[in-house]
Amino acid sequence: MSYLETTKNVYKEAALTPDVGLCCTTNPVWELPGLKIPKIMQEMNYGCGSTVHARDLVNNPKTLYVGVGGGMELLQFAYFSRQKNGVVGIDVVDEMLEASRKNFKEAEELNPWFKSEFVDLKKGDALNLPVEDNTIDVAAQNCLFNIFKTEELKKAIAEMYRVLKPHGRLV
């Protein structure tokens, strides 16, 4: 079994049975007025903390995030765009996408400003993003790129640059 297949299986299990502390942090990265993070999103936050800063999200950017986890980062990014499909989340694990969809319903109940349609969840992987060329303002990822071997890392970064608009930002 390849290391990528092993990773997929670990996150499939983590989607089915949330594994608090599986990765690095469960704390919300940002505390913003009117933003309430559902507890389940915090428990399913399998990233290393966000590389994106609020200043990266000015002027209603279309934001891409690879590796959706429980959806916490996507919810935080949607806070700044508040538009249909303003945030695109990509994950290779069906169970993680389904868990995120469910978590967004809870986020709608906690956040009057939030609608699930603000986030476009798509099945795909970092090596072949299901996103059109030159359509993204800000592209980010969780710690996924840290596990890639050199060949996969080069391909994943090339994919991120392919989907970025001219002057878009990879963070």
Tens digit of each residue's pLDDT (9 = 90 or more) over 29-49: 678 899 999 988 888 776 666
Distance CA 36, CA 38 (A): 6
Q: Where are the domains of the chain?
A: 3-170
Radius of gyration over alpha carbons of the chain, in Å?
A: 15
pTM of the shown model: 0.86
Looking at domain 3-170, its CATH superfamily turns out to be Vaccinia Virus protein VP39 (3.40.50.150)
Helix axes 72-81, 94-110, angle to 10 degrees: 50
Tens digit of each residue's pLDDT (9 = 90 or more) over 110-155: 999 999 999 999 999 999 999 999 999 999 987 778 788 899 999 9
Residue 106: is it exposed, middle or buried by C-beta count within 10 angstroms (0-12/13-18/19+)? middle
